[in-house]
Amino acid sequence: MARSTERLIRELGDGLTPVRRIAAPNRLALLWLGFSVLITAGLAIVFDMQAAMARLGSATDMWLAALGSVLTAALAAKAAFELAMPGRPRLWALLPLPALLLWIGASGMGCLRTWATAGWDGGVHSECLMSIIGISAPLAVAMVVMLRRAYPLHPVLTSMLAGLACAAASATVLSLFHPGDAATADLAFHALAVMLVTAVLTVSGRRLLRR
Amino acid sequence: MQPAVLSLSPGAFRAFGRSMDHSGQADRRLGGLMASAQTGDRAAYDALLRDCVPVIRAVARGRGVPPEAIDDVVQETLLTVHRARHTYDPSRPFRAWLRTIAERRAIDLLRRQGRQRSREVHDEIAYETHPAAAQAPVAEVDAGLRQAIDGLPEGQRQAIEELTLKDRSLAEAARATGRSPGALKVNLHRALKTLRARLSGEEG
């Protein structure tokens, strides 16, 4: 063994302090999902929960899309925390894919349904965009703080999954409290917002999570 | 022939089983050492890091790291093991945990080397085609830079001389100076910062 390696081992030994083991990825994901539920509950006090449920029940694609986005958020969060621990295969990144496809598929069906009845209303729905970004922000901060406690060896992939989880969670929250039926234009702006949030986290991942 | 093959097979299976057992035992032993290290057991940590070295070397070789850079990968991986030790879960195989870290560090090093090589080519082209290259006051720049380097604190001066002027690898520089790679890195970073501040201050 090289002398400098010997010396490094000695120095690392000198710097050894007891550490508290980080919680398992499942527990971290549940903790973060709990935080999202807390935000939703906070909004439920302000908004009309019964109307939200009635809206979700009004069409199959609506509740399928909501189920898809909830599952995407949960599975993307789980995958992000798995990838943040060394020794876990990168295949975890594929975990949210089926849920994401369900979400995209059901939303697409919703788009077609509202397009057939109402067409494009021509409006720019910046409030949808801002809501998703606004709800994503605290979720993303919490997620990044938690991920930094771990040790992500693939920062970009991990932060992309984190971004997807945050965007999916906030899109779910928005779909509950969205005033009126989600029109084609709304859904298009939701998709744009989700892509934007995911892209921002992916791009800043290297800086936020590099170790 | 047939009976011979048949009579060999159980032996081969037993050998395979033994080697699997052995690897499982080794994993359990290393995992146990890390679990003790997590509570602050210095002796266990020392033994663990020593046992990590051959595993890391094998990973680096497998990834195609050139022999002279393998020590760099070993040291960077050991540093990462130190910083990430709270993420090891003793119920999981230790070597899988270690291998992913070593692979990451090996890939980082290969990428760094690739970038350096491509930059060097570009620098040459830039130098040769630069209009001011012919009359550039190379000696003056050198003297100014030399003076600035001489004015650095001892550790920083050593780091910049070994790692940039003599173009030594982190491991070689560590051997030559008797400092750890971590300390050299920190010193190089500080030296570059100081030089940048001094040189830009003089020009501006």
pLDDT at B82: 96
Picking from A11, A19, A153, the nearest residue to B180 by CB comes out as A11
- In terms of CA atoms, which chain A residue is nearest residue B104? A153
What pLDDT does B4 receive?
Answer: 42
H/E run at residue A1: none
Best A1, A3, A4 residue to mutate vs chain B (most B CBs within 10 Å):
A4
Is A35 in contact with A130 (CB distance < 8 Å)? no
Task: State the pLDDT confidence band at B133, using cuts at 50, 70 and 90.
Answer: very low
- Burial class of A185 by CB neighbour count within 10 A (0 to 12, 13 to 18, 19+): buried
Crossing angle for the helix pair A126-149 and A184-209, to the nearest 10 degrees? 30
| A146 contacts on B by Cβ (under 8 Å) | none
A166 against A131, higher pLDDT: A166
Closest CA to B59 of B110, B17, B98: B98
Q: What's the pLDDT band for B20 if we cut at 50, 70, 90?
A: low
Quick one: closest CA in B to A85, which residue?
B87
Kindly provide the b/e burial profile for residues A55-67, where b requires at least 16 CB atoms within 10 angstroms of the residue's own CB.
Answer: bbeebebbbbbbb
Greatest mean pLDDT among A17-21, A58-62, A180-184, B194-198 lies in A17-21
Between A and B, how many residue pairs show a Cβ–Cβ distance under 8 A?
Answer: 100
Between positions 85 and 114 of A, the ones with CB within 8 A of B are 85-88
Q: Across residues B123-148, what is the average pLDDT?
A: 57
* Cβ atoms of A24 and B92 closer than 8 Å: no
DSSP A150: S
Residue with tokens 């302000």: A46
User: What's the mean pLDDT in B177-184?
Assistant: 80
C-alpha distances (whole Å) from B51 to each of A162, B29, B54, B87, B88 are: 35, 10, 7, 19, 16
Bigger pLDDT: B102 vs B186: B102
**Distance of alpha carbon A86 from alpha carbon B130, whole angstroms:** 46
pLDDT of residue B203: 41
Is B100–A15 a contact, with Cβ atoms under 8 angstroms apart?
no
Query: Averaged over A115-119, what is the pLDDT?
Result: 69
**Whether A207 contacts chain B with CB within 8 A:** no
* Whether pLDDT at B145 is above 60: yes
Q: How far apart are the C-alpha atoms of A43 and A178, rounded to whole Å?
A: 12
Please give, rounded to a whole number of angstroms, the shortest distance from the CA of B18 to a CA of chain A.
24
Average pLDDT over residues A97-111: 89
pLDDT of residue A187: 74
Question: What's the whole-number mean pLDDT along residues B49-62?
Answer: 96
Q: Record the pTM.
A: 0.72
Listed range (A140-154, B17-31, B73-87, B176-190) with the worst mean pLDDT: B17-31
Chain-centroid distance, C-alpha B160: 18
Mean pLDDT on A182-201: 80
**For residue A168, is pLDDT > 80?**
yes
Beta strands in B88-139 (DSSP E): none
Flag if A8 and B80 touch (Cβ within 8 Å): no
pLDDT at A26: 95
DSSP B50-85: HHHHHHHHHHHHHTT--GGGHHHHHHHHHHHHHHTG
Quick one: tokens of A8? 């490094």
Q: Is the pLDDT of residue A121 over 90?
A: no
- In 10 A of CB B195, how many CB atoms? 17
Interchain proximity B84–A18, CB inside 8 Å? no
Interior/surface letters B155-182, b for 16+ CB within 10 angstroms, e for the rest = bbebbbbbbeeeebbbbbbbbebebbbb
pLDDT at B2 over 50: no
Q: Which of residues 11-40 of A touch B (CB under 8 A)?
A: 11-13, 15-22, 24
* Higher pLDDT among residues B14 and B75, named by residue: B75
What is the spatial distance between Cα B76 and Cα B53, in angstroms, rounded to a whole number?
11
Between A35-49, A119-133, A151-165, the lowest mean confidence (pLDDT) is in: A119-133
Least confident of A96-105, A186-195, B52-61: A186-195
Higher pLDDT, B18 or A13: A13
Give the integer Cα–Cα distance in Å for B34 and B38: 6
pLDDT > 90 fraction of chain B, expressed in percent and rounded: 41
For testing the chain B interface, which of A6, A12, A83, A211 should be mutated: the one with the most B CBs within 10 Å?
A: A12
Tell me how close the Cα of B30 comes to any Cα of chain A, in angstroms. 14
In A, residues 152-171, which contact B (CB 8 Å cutoff)? 153-154
What's the mean per-residue pLDDT of chain A? 86
Pick A16's closest partner by Cβ from B37, B78, B174: B37
In the predicted structure, residue B139 carries a pLDDT above the cut 90? no
**Please, which residues have CB within 8 angstroms of residue B180's CB and are 6 or more apart in sequence?**
A4, A7, A8, A11, B174
Mean pLDDT across B138-158? 73
Q: Do A4 and B180 make contact, defined as CB atoms within 8 angstroms?
A: yes
Mean pLDDT in residue range A37-60: 78
- Which of B37, B97, B181 shows the shortest C-beta gap to A87? B97
Look up residue A198 and give its amino acid.
T
Phi, psi torsion values for B48, nearest 5 degrees: -60, -50
The mean pLDDT value for A43-54 works out to: 76
pLDDT of residue A124: 58
The overall average pLDDT reported for chain B is 79
The whole-number pLDDT of residue B137 equals 45
Are A19 and B174 a contacting pair at CB < 8 A?
no
